[in-house]
């Protein structure tokens, strides 16, 4: 797997069909949530630990795009 700048992915209890990964902040080691299979959507998702929030790669791509746009706007306004 790839090496990531801010996050560490730790595989938990390997299963024959699907995998579950704990997602940790690289700097603090804090658990942020889990990447796991979500049957109703038939895809892997990211789920936070404390809140029942579910994101798939499309949702996260939208969030990243929105944040990137905000940062570009901020740079333009300086």
Q: For 23-77, how does the pLDDT look when each residue is reduced to its tens digit (9 = 90+)? A: 988 889 989 889 999 899 888 989 887 777 778 888 888 878 877 887 887 788 7
Among 26, 29, 28, 46, smallest CA distance to 37 is for: 46
In the predicted model, is pLDDT for residue 1 greater than 70?
Answer: no
Q: What ranges do the domains of the chain cover?
A: 7-76
pTM for the whole structure: 0.73
Over residues 3-26, the mean pLDDT reads: 88
Alpha-helix runs per DSSP H in the chain: 57-76
Give the model's pLDDT for residue 75: 80
Nearest to 37 by CA among 24, 51, 50, 18: 18
């Amino acid at each position: 797997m790839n090496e990531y700048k801010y996050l560490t992915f730790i595989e938990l209890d390997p299963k024959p069909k699907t995998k579950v990964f704990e997602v940790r902040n690289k700097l603090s080691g804090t658990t942020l949530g889990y990447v796991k299979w979500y049957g109703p959507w038939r895809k892997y998702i990211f789920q936070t630990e404390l809140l029942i929030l579910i994101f798939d790669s499309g949702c996260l791509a939208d969030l990243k795009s929105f944040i990137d746009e905000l940062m570009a706007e901020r740079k333009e306004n300086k």
